[in-house]
Amino acid sequence: MSDSTKMRLEVTCAVLVAFALRLYFIWQFPFYDAGDTPIYQEFAHNWLAHGIYGVSVFGHLLPVDLRTPGYPAFLAAIYSVFGESARAVMIAQAVVDVLTCMVVAAMAAVLAPKASRARVALAALWLAAICPFTANYTAVVLTETLATFLTALALLVLVEAFRDERLGTTQGLASGETPRGMRWLLGGIVAGFGTLVRPEAPLILAGVGVVLLVLWRRPANWRKLARAGILMAVGLVLPLLPWAARNWRVLHRVQFLAPRYTELPGEFTPRGFFSWEKTWLWRFRDVFLVSWNLEGGEIQLQDMPESAFDSAAERARVAKLLEQYNATTEMSPEIDWQFAEIARERTERHLLRTYVSVPFLRALAMWFTPRVEMLPLSGKFWPVGYWWEDSPSQYCYSMTLFLMGIAYGVLAIGGVWRCRKDPAAIMLVAFIVIRTAFLTTTETPEPRYVLECFPAVFALGAQLWVKNRETPIRSED
Output the CA–CA distances (angstroms, integers) from residue 158 to 26, 191, 205, 231, in the order listed. Answer: 32, 10, 9, 12
pLDDT range class, residue 115, cuts 50, 70, 90: confident
- Asked if 427 and 214 touch (Cβ cutoff 8 Å), the reply is no
Inside any domain, residue 368: yes
Give residue-wise pLDDT tens across range 1-23.
677 788 889 999 999 999 999 99
Taking 70 as the threshold, does the pLDDT of residue 221 lie above it?
yes
Output the CA–CA distances (angstroms, integers) from residue 470 to 155, 166, 417, 463, in the order listed. Answer: 22, 14, 13, 12
Taking the C-alpha atoms of residue 41 and residue 193, their distance in angstroms, rounded to an integer, is 20
Of 334, 339, 271, whose CA–CA distance to 308 is shortest? 339
383 upstream amide cis, omega within 30 of 0 = yes
Taking 80 as the threshold, does the pLDDT of residue 257 lie above it?
yes
Of 158, 177, 165, whose CA–CA distance to 224 is shortest? 165
| End residue of a domain, out of 343, 378, 413 | 378
Q: Which structural domain range is residue 454 located in?
A: 3-168+178-252+398-465
Taking 50 as the threshold, does the pLDDT of residue 204 lie above it?
yes
Inside any domain, residue 41: yes
Higher-scoring residue by pLDDT: 261, 186:
186
Res 173: pLDDT: 45
Is the domain of 363 the same as that of 443? no
Is the domain of 66 the same as that of 132? yes
**Given CA atoms 302, 308, 312, 313 in this order, what sign does their dihedral have?**
negative
Res 75: pLDDT: 96
Give residue-wise pLDDT tens across range 294-320.
878 899 999 899 999 999 999 999 999
The 3-state DSSP class for residue 375 equals: coil
Res 7: pLDDT: 82
- Asked if 105 and 443 touch (Cβ cutoff 8 Å), the reply is no
3-state secondary structure 311-359: CHHHHHHHHHHHHHHHHHCCCCHHHHHHHHHHHHHHHHHCHHHHHHHHH
Inside any domain, residue 87: yes
Res 77: pLDDT: 95
Is the domain of 218 the same as that of 303? no
Cβ atoms within 10 A of the Cβ of 327, count? 9
- Asked if 458 and 104 touch (Cβ cutoff 8 Å), the reply is yes
Taking the C-alpha atoms of residue 45 and residue 191, their distance in angstroms, rounded to an integer, is 26
Is the domain of 214 the same as that of 292? no
Higher-scoring residue by pLDDT: 263, 448:
448
Res 70: pLDDT: 95
Inside any domain, residue 63: yes
Give residue-wise pLDDT tens across range 132-163.
999 999 999 999 999 999 999 999 999 999 98
Taking 90 as the threshold, does the pLDDT of residue 131 lie above it?
yes
Mean per-residue pLDDT over the chain, rounded: 88
Is the domain of 279 the same as that of 345? yes
Cβ atoms within 10 A of the Cβ of 310, count? 17
Average pLDDT over residues 273-280: 94
Inside any domain, residue 473: no
Res 268: pLDDT: 84
User: What is the total count of domains within the chain?
Assistant: 2
Is the domain of 17 the same as that of 125? yes
Taking the C-alpha atoms of residue 197 and residue 241, their distance in angstroms, rounded to an integer, is 14
Is the domain of 224 the same as that of 184? yes
Taking 70 as the threshold, does the pLDDT of residue 325 lie above it?
yes
Is the domain of 141 the same as that of 68? yes
